[in-house]
Amino acid sequence: MITPGDIANRHLLPASGLANASLLGTRSVRVVVAEEWGSSVAGQLLTSCLVNVLCRQVGIISRIEVVATPTATLISLPGIAVPAAFPSSLEQLAAWAVKDRIPFRIGATDSVVDYMIMIGAKLPQHSVASRQVLVVIGDGWRAWIGEGSRAPRLVSPRSTNPLGPFFAASLASGEIFKRSRGILRGRYLTAAGFSLWTGRSSEEWGELEDGPELAGLSLPATHVVGAGAVGNALAYVIASAQFAHGYVIPIDDDIYDGTNLNRCTLAGWHDQEHDKVESIARMLSATNVGVFPFPGSIKEYVTDEKIGLRPDVAAKVNQLEFDVVVSCVDKRTARQDVQGLWPSLLLGGSTLDLQAKTNVYGLWPGAACLACHNPAERDGDKVRALEVKLRNMPSDQRRRYLEDNGLNAAAIEDYLVGAQCGGLGEAILKSFATRPSAQFSVGFVSLGAGALLGAALFQQTIFRGHALKRADMTSFNYLNGNSFDAGLGYDPSCELGCYSDLPNT
C-alpha cells in the first residue's frame, strides 16, 4: 500500500495527460549494455544514471535486470565510496538509493520481460526475450532513443561529457514510465534525437550537432539555491563532468522526506531527515569539486558569517556581489529573494508535470527577471485562515485534526490560548499553513531539467561567446517528446520593478 510519505506517492498522483495510476500494473525491465559501451565512460554514465532513476519508480516497475560484460568501474557513483566492478556496482547503487523496494539483479532471468533497453546497440532479433525493445544512446551533448528497427548503426562512445548520457537516461526512464502508466495524449518515442548544444532535434543521430568536451575545464564559482530534485540533478551533472576546477555553493534550509526519494538522484535511503545540501556536498566532494554547503535560506546565507567559504567568493558576497546564481527553488517568494541578489548571471530550472524547463534571465532589455510572473505567496493570509478554522472547531475535533496531520497539538493549543510558551506552536502552525500541497513529480523529469540547466550554465559561462545563440527559455515535454527554445518577456506587474529600467517604459 502506498502511503502519503512513501517514495511512490508523487509519481502515482494524477497528472495532465497521464492515465489513472490505479489502473496500472507493474512492469519488468532488462537493461542490456553493448560491450563497447559498458567499457566506456559515456556508457557507464548512461547505464548508472538510468538505473538510479528506474529503481525509484516504485509502483511502476516490478524488477530490474542488468546484463553487461564485467569491467572496471570508470565513474563516480552517488553514495558509493568504493564501487565494485561494473556492472556489480549498479547493484550497490540501487540498494543505496531505495534499499529493496524494487528487486534488482545482475544477469538475465529466463523469463520474458516487458521492456528491453539496449544501450548503444541493437541485438539480433532472436536474442530479444521481451515484449518491447528500446535502443538508447547518449554521448557528448547528444541523446537518442527509439525502437530497435529505427536505431542508428555503429555508434561508438567518444566523450566523457555527462550531458548526453544523462539526458538519454531521462528519455529511456520516461518512456518506460509512460508506456507503463499509459498516456491520454502525446506520443511514445519511436525515433527521437536531441542536441543539448544547439537545442535541435532529429530522428537521425548523424544530424545531431555535438559540442565541446568538458573534462579538464573550469567552472566558475556557482551559487545553487535550492537543493531539491533539480538541484540534485544539476549537481550530479557537475560532479560527473571531470572539471579540473569547480566550486559550488548549494543553499537550502530543507531536509529530505520519503517522497523526495523518487526524484532526488543524489539522495539515498539513509538520507531521509538529513539536510538536502549534505548529499550534494558529498557527491561534489567525492569528485574533487570545491563545495560550501549552506543549510539555510538565501536570506540567512547573506547575513551569515560563512566560515569556510572560499575567501574570494566571501569577499564578493559580503559586498552583495554575486556572479553566477542558479535558482532551483519552487516557491515564488524564494524566487523573488534570489532575484533580489541581482547577480551578473541568473539561471533557473523547474518542472511541471511532464515538462522540464530552464531559463536564462535578464541578459537583454525586455527579458524577464526571475520575479516576473512569480508574485510572492501571501503566507499571512493562509496562516490567518487556518487559525480561524482551528478556533472555530470544538476542542476534541481540533485535537484529532492536528494529530491526524502529524502536528504537535499541545504546542498549537498553547499558541491559540495566548500562552507565553506558544512560540513553538506559532511556528508549527505557519509551517503547516504554508506547506505546498503534494503535486505530481517524477525523477526523469527532474533529471532532464538538470541536464538542460547544466547545458545552459556551461554555455553561458565556460563557452560564452562560442556557443550557438539560444533563446532565453528551453523546454522539453516528455509527454510528446517536443523540445523548443522560446523567448520569455518581462512582466509589467513584476513586484521587483525590473521593467522600470527598460527604455520607453
The residues that bridge with 287 in the sheet, in sequence order, are none
- For the cut 80, the answer to whether the pLDDT of residue 4 exceeds it is no
Mean pLDDT (whole number) for 186-198? 97
| CATH 3.40.50.720 for domain 218-375+440-501 | yes
Report yes or no: 187 and 481 within 8 Å, Cβ to Cβ. Answer: yes
Instruction: Report the pLDDT value the prediction gives residue 5, as an integer from 0 to 100.
Output: 74
Predicted confidence at residue 123, as pLDDT, reads 65
Residue 277 has pLDDT above 50, yes or no: yes
Model pLDDT for residues 478-490, shown as the tens digit of each residue: 999 999 899 888 8
The span from the first CA to the last CA of the chain, in angstroms, equals: 57
Assign a CATH topology to domain 28-207: Rossmann fold (3.40.50)
Rounded to whole angstroms, how far apart are CA atoms 432 and 426? 10
> Of 25-34, 259-268, 290-299, where does mean pLDDT reach its minimum?
25-34
Q: Are 115 and 136 in contact (CB under 8 A)?
A: no
Q: Report domain extents, the chain.
A: 28-207, 218-375+440-501, 379-433
Q: What angle do CA 335, 339, 343 make, to 5 degrees?
A: 140
pLDDT of residue 420: 62
How many C-beta atoms surround the C-beta of residue 438 within 10 A?
A: 12
The mean pLDDT value of the chain amounts to 92
pLDDT at 189: 97
pLDDT, tens only, 41-81? 999 999 999 999 999 999 999 999 999 999 999 999 999 99
Nearest CA-CA partner of 233 in 280, 171, 294: 280
pLDDT at 42: 98
Residue bearing the bigger pLDDT, 50 or 148: 50
Using one digit for the tens of pLDDT, what is the confidence trace for 216-229?
999 999 999 999 99
**What DSSP element (H or E) covers 146?**
strand 142-147
Model confidence over 92-140: pLDDT tens digits? 999 999 999 999 999 998 889 999 999 998 765 545 566 899 999 999 9
Angle at 35 between CA 146 and CA 175, to 5 degrees: 25
Give the amino acid at 347. L
278 in Cβ contact with 293 (< 8 Å): yes
| Higher per-residue pLDDT: 285 or 383 | 285
Q: Which of 128-142, 345-359, 364-378 has the highest mean pLDDT?
A: 345-359
Task: Calculate what percentage of the chain has a pLDDT beyond 70.
Answer: 94
Cα atoms found within 13 Å of the Cα of residue 333, Cβ hemisphere only: 8
CB atoms within 10 A of CB 464: 10
Average pLDDT (292-297) is 97
pLDDT band at 23; cut points 50, 70, 90: low
Neighbouring-strand partners of residue 193: 144, 202
Instruction: Give 274's pLDDT tier (boundaries 50, 70, 90).
Output: very high
279 vs 403, higher pLDDT = 279
| pLDDT value for 127 | 54
Q: What are phi and psi of 110, to 5 degrees?
A: -80, -10
Can you give the pLDDT at residue 126?
43
Comparing CA positions, the residue from 416, 414, 411 lying closest to residue 390 is 416
From CA 253, how far away is CA 478, in angstroms rounded?
30
pLDDT tens track for 160-185:
999 999 999 999 999 999 999 999 99
pLDDT band at 387 (very low <50, low <70, confident <90, very high): confident
Per-residue pLDDT of 314-343, as tens digits, reads 999 999 999 999 999 999 999 999 999 999
The mean pLDDT of 14-43, rounded to a whole number, is 90
pLDDT classification of 414: cutoffs 50, 70, 90 = confident
Identical fold between 28-207 and 218-375+440-501: yes
At residue 429, the pLDDT reads 78
